[in-house]
């Protein structure tokens, strides 16, 4: 197996955000999402070609890894930052 390098965008996110945790989910036939979520609900994601590569990236970033959305705490954290529902947030086009 060829190990993929951890993307610099993910490294930057972990460096600039506090208390980051990762969620790993299948997103296609042979692809896996690694979603990084910080304490305030800010998030980013990266698609990997194998589950092993995504797990290796989470390990390399030294963030706790959750397989799927079984932890309700992570779903609440992910939905905490909703820029569409705040007074100064983004507005949908009409």
The domain that contains 48 carries what CATH number? Answer: 3.30.720.90
pLDDT digit string (tens) for the chain, length 94 residues: 456 789 999 999 999 999 999 999 999 899 999 999 999 889 999 999 999 999 999 999 999 999 999 999 998 888 887 666 666 555 555 5
Range of the domain at 12: 8-81
Q: Does residue 2 lie in a domain region?
A: no
How would you label 32-58 residue by residue, b for 16+ Cβ within 10 Å and e otherwise? bbbbbbbeeebbbbbebeebebbbbbb
Report pTM: 0.82
Per the structure, the count of domains in the chain is 1
pLDDT at 69: 92
Question: From CA 46, how far away is CA 12, in angstroms rounded?
Answer: 13
> What pLDDT does residue 80 have?
81
Within a domain: 94: no
């Amino acid at each position: 197996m060829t190990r993929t390098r951890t993307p610099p965008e993910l490294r930057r996110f972990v460096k600039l955000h506090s208390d980051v945790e990762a969620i790993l989910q299948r997103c296609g036939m042979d692809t896996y999402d690694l979603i990084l979520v910080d304490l305030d609900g800010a998030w980013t994601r990266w698609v990997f070609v194998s589950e092993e590569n995504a797990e290796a990236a989470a390990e390399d970033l030294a963030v706790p890894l959750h397989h799927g959305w079984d932890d309700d705490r992570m779903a609440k954290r992910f939905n905490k930052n909703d820029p569409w529902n705040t007074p100064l947030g983004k507005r949908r086009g009409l």
